[in-house]
Structure 1
Amino acid sequence: MNATSQPGSIRPEWLDTQREEPLEPGLVIVDAHHHLYHRPGARYLLDEMLDDLDCGHNVAATVLVQARAMLRAEGPEFMKPIGETEFANGVAAMSASGIYGPTRVCAALVGFADLRLGDAIRPVLEAHIAAGGGTVDAGGRFRGIRQGAAWDPDTSLLNAAYTTSEGMLASPEFGRGFAQLAPMGLSFDAWLFFHQIPRLTALARKFPDTAIVLDHCGGVLRIGRYAASSADVFRQWKVALIELATCANVSVKLGGLGQWLSGFDFQAQDRAPSSTQLAQAWRPWIETCVEAFGTARCMVESNFPVDKANHSYGIGWNALKRLFRDASPDEKADVFWRSAARFYRLWHVGELSALRPSTT
C-alpha cells in the first residue's frame, strides 16, 4: 500500500449501516486507482474487489497501482517489484476471460521502480513491460511507474516501506531515471503531499513530454500539525494546484480523500457516511481540481481498499456522481471514464476505440 495506509481497520458491519441504490447506474466508470495485496491482517485480492464491484455501478475497467504486493522473494532488490506486475497481469488475464463479470480488472498496470537508479533503470522498466504482456501495441497492460515521493518533517505521516527525501524529485539521479519513461511510452503517477506540489510542477516543466498524473487530489493533509490549520492548507494547496495545472502534460485523480491523512474521519461516527455527507466534505477539493485542470484532465479513482476504512465502494461513486450532477454528459464522460481511458490507453473502453492511433 502507499503512504496512506490507514490506522483504522475496515469494518464490514459498520459499512453495512449505510446502504444506497446506485445513482446513474448506466454511467460508464473507469476506476483509475486501486490496489490488490495480501499481507498479514489485510487481504484485498480479486474476490474482495469483485464483492465491491457488485454494487450496481457500471465500472468498465480498473487501473492497478503498485502497493508493494507479491514482490519477488529472490533476486536483486531493484528487480523484486517485477513480481507485482507479474501477479497483477495474472489477475488481469483472469478478469479478461469474462468468467468473473464484465469489469476488466487491472486493465492497466502501474508498477514501482526506483528511478534514482538513473540510466540503470532501463532494464527494470523493460522487465515490467515484458511482465505486463509486452508493449501496448502488442496488447500489454503495463503503463507506467509510481514512485512515492511523499515527504514531511513529521515522520508519523510517512510509510516506512518507502525511502524518500524532501528533494528527491529534483535529484540528478531521479531525473536521469525519469527521463527514461517517455521514450519507453510510460507515464508517471505522482504521490506526494500538498506542500510538495511545486516540486512536481518543476519536474513536469523539465519533462514536458512525459505524461504525469497527480494522485489523490494532491496529497491533502489535515491531521497532526495540519489539523488546526485546515484553511491554510487549502489555500496553499489551491495556489500550488493552479500553477501545476498550467503544465499541459499533467492530469489529476479525483479521490483518495477517504485516507486518514485527509482528516475526514467518518470512522468516528456510529454510522457509515452517506454519499451526501461525502460529497459535502469533498466538494471544495474536487471542484477546485476540476476548475484548475478542466474535465479533460480529471479522472475518478476509488483508492480502494485504503479508502474503504471510511466509506463503501458504491457510496463513494454515488458521492462523486452527486458532485457532477449538473455537469454536461460530455463532462461526465471525461471525468468518469474518458480521461482515464485516454491517459492509460484503454482503447477498448467506449468510444476511445475509435481514437486509437494508427500503427500503419
Structure 2
Amino acid sequence: MQELDAWQSGAAEPVLEPDLPIVDAHHHLWHRPLQHYGAPELGADLGAGHNVLDTVFVECMAGYRPDGPEHLKPVGETEFVVAETAGASGMCGAILGHADLTQGSRVRETLEAHITAGAGRFRGVRHQAQYDAELGSMSRRSPPPHGLLDVMFREGVEQLTALGLVLDVYLYFTQLSELAAFARAAPDTTLILNHTGTPLGVGPYANNRAEVFAHWAQGIEDLSACPNVLVKLGGLGMTQCGFGFETHATPPASHELAEVWRPYIETAIAAFGPQRAMFESNFPVDKQSCSYRALWNAFKIITRNYSSDERRDLFCKAAARAYRLNL
C-alpha cells in the first residue's frame, strides 16, 4: 500500500462537490504479509475529502478462524471487521461475509453465527462465481463453472433469504445470462451484481473491446429485467478489465477515468435505473489503478447531467436501502 500511496501522491486533485453524500457500497479490509489495508488505511482514504457517510465491507478471506469447524471458519472475518473498526464511525456499517451456500440447508448455522458476530451489522453473503471458459476463475476461491445452477447452492440461498439477508454475486460478463436465470428462479432473493458485471479485457478479450462491450451490454439489459437485482457501479480498475491504468508512470486524473468508464457506467444506469444502482470503490483492489479521490471525482463527472434525486440514489440512497444502513 505504501508504494501505491507514493505513486498517487504526486497527482492530487481538488475534490469535486465535497458535500455530495456518499455510501461506499463495496470495499475490503485485510492484513496480508506485504499488504495491509485496515481501518487506519481505509480511514485515510475516507479522509481524502469526499463526504462518505458510511461503507459496506465485502468478504475477502480475511481474519478467518484458524481452527474449529470448517464451515464456521469464515465467521472469523465478521469478527475481524467488528474488532478492526471498534470505536470508529462512518465505516463498515454493513458487513457481507462468506458462507458455503452449497451446504444447502446446513448453511443456516453459519449464517446465524455471522449474524451474532456482526453485532447488528451483518447484512448478507458475497458469493464468488467468476469463471470463464477461456481464462478460468482468476480467483483465490477457484469457483467451478455453472455454480449458480447447483441445486444445493439454491437451497442454501433459500436459507439466506429466509433470514432477510442479501446475496452479492461476483462473476464475469460471460456469466450474466446465468445470473439472470438464477434471479428469475429466486424472485424473493435480493441479488446485487458486483463490479458492473466485470467486462473482461485480458487474454482473448484484450483486443476485442467492442465485441465484449456489446456482449456485456446485452447481458446487463437482460439482467436488469429482473426486479430483484441491483448493480454496483465500479470495479473497473481491476487488472482483468484490461484498461491498463496500473501500468502508467503516473496515476490517471479523474477526467481520464471518466472518459474510459463512462460507457459502462451510463449503460448500467440506463438499464437498472438510479434506484437499483450504487457506486463502489472496490478499494484497495482498484487502488492499483487510481486514488480514492480521483475515483469518486470520476463518478461525479460521469453523472453531472443526472438530476439531484438520481445522484442521491446512485451515490448514497440505493446502497443505504439495500444494506439497511441508518445514516
Residue equivalent to 2:299: 320
1:138-193, CA deviations, whole angstroms, 9 ceiling, x for partnerless residues?
Answer: xx00000012000123456511x314111110011111101111110100001000
Residue equivalent to 1:71: 64
Residue equivalent to 2:225: 246
Note the C-alpha offset of 1:94.
Answer: 2.1
Q: Is the 8 A contact 2:125 2:167 kept in 1?
A: yes
Question: Aligned partners of 1:56 and 1:113: how far apart in 2?
Answer: 35
Residue equivalent to 2:112: 126
Note the C-alpha offset of 1:240.
Answer: 0.8
1:300-325, CA deviations, whole angstroms, 9 ceiling, x for partnerless residues?
Answer: 00000000001000110000000011
Residue equivalent to 1:208: 187
Query: How well do the aligned residues superpose, as a CA RMSD in angstroms?
Result: 1.3
Q: Is the 8 A contact 1:9 1:309 kept in 2?
A: no
Note the C-alpha offset of 1:84.
Answer: 0.3
Q: Is the 8 A contact 1:10 1:308 kept in 2?
A: no
Change (3 A) 1:207 1:152: same
Change (3 A) 1:296 1:91: same
Residue equivalent to 1:116: 102
1:151 corresponds to 2:131 = yes
Q: Is the 8 A contact 2:39 2:85 kept in 1?
A: no
Find the residue that maps to 1:228 and give its secondary structure: coil
Note the C-alpha offset of 1:265.
Answer: 0.7
Q: Is the 8 A contact 1:295 1:331 kept in 2?
A: yes
Q: Is the 8 A contact 2:233 2:279 kept in 1?
A: yes
Aligned amino acid, residue 241 of structure 2 = S
Question: Aligned partners of 1:58 and 1:66: how far apart in 2?
Answer: 24
Note the C-alpha offset of 1:54.
Answer: 1.4
1:3-48, CA deviations, whole angstroms, 9 ceiling, x for partnerless residues?
Answer: xxxxx99522221121111100000000000000001111000011
Q: Is the 8 A contact 1:92 1:107 kept in 2?
A: no
1:56-109, CA deviations, whole angstroms, 9 ceiling, x for partnerless residues?
Answer: 10000000000000000001211110000011122343213xxxxxxx111000
Note the C-alpha offset of 1:269.
Answer: 1.8
1:35 corresponds to 2:14 = no
Alignment map for 1:300-311 (pairs within 5 Å): 300-311=279-290
Structure 1 length as normaliser, TM-score? 0.89
Residue equivalent to 1:288: 267
Residue equivalent to 1:188: 167
- Structure 1: tracts of 5 or more residues without a match: 1-7, 97-103, 134-139, 350-360
1:251-288, CA deviations, whole angstroms, 9 ceiling, x for partnerless residues?
Answer: 00010000001111112222110000000000010000
- Of 261, 276, 298, 2:277 maps to 298
Question: Aligned partners of 1:50 and 1:94: how far apart in 2?
Answer: 12
1:87 corresponds to 2:73 = no
- Of 145, 151, 163, 1:166 maps to 145
Structure 2 length as normaliser, TM-score? 0.97
Find the residue that maps to 1:18 and give its secondary structure: coil
- Of 4, 8, 11, 2:4 maps to 11
Question: Aligned partners of 2:267 and 2:134: how far apart in 1?
Answer: 27
Residue equivalent to 2:121: 141
